[in-house]
Chains A and B, each alone.
Chain A
């Protein structure tokens, strides 16, 4: 079964760039059937969807992050990545990567997040 694993620094200094990678195993990241998303969870704002990437090259970002986020995919490494610039203490959170599954139900396309990585805690502090 597919598994996702986040990796990256647990501590980032204010104004710097937060960089995380998600490694996908047990299934091909090349499938057209999925998007690959980043989501974060903090005590203050709960669960926030940051954005997603499709292997065809399409990327969607949440407007809340669009000005300072980059999501990319490296199919040769079966990985996708998140870069968040100009971080502040408000970016302290647990960051999750997740597969964005799609299915057709009664002619409509529905999607949901499954599975998720275990999450990685990132603290923004000097």
Chain B
């Protein structure tokens, strides 16, 4: 299985801050990488697919980059509604696997 490792596991930030979350794959996955946001009590929701494509309806302050084994999710200016847990997921090969999550908390 491809292991997905996210860092940090949590980050404290203020509204307006720029936040960067990293995801590393245990082997190369090209750009087969998706990012999800999960708020308490809700299912995950896709933000970014194919490493850098913004899902329709997702604010442009979210962006993704990377290829191979190293990927980044950036929130350019953190908004109150962005406090949540973020997960990466590889779609390169089955079994499809997720990272452990990064919790974005209010500073």
Contacts and interface: CB of A to CB of B under 8 A. Distances in A.
Contacts of B98: 46-49
A15 to B, nearest CB: 25
Interface residues of B, number: 25
Interface string A22-54: 000000000000000100000000111100000
Interface in B56-107: 87, 89, 91, 94-98, 100-101
A47 B96 CA distance: 10
B89 A112 contact: yes
Chain B contact residues, majority secondary structure: loop
B44 A113 contact: yes
A56 to B, nearest CB: 16
Contacts of A119: 43
Interface of B: 1, 30-32, 34, 36, 42-46, 49-50, 53, 55, 87, 89, 91, 94-98, 100-101
- A-B pairs, top 7 by smallest CB distance, nearest first, are A116-B43, A62-B95, A47-B98, A49-B96, A112-B49, A112-B34, A110-B50
Interface of A: 37, 46-49, 60, 62-64, 96, 98, 103, 105, 108, 110-119
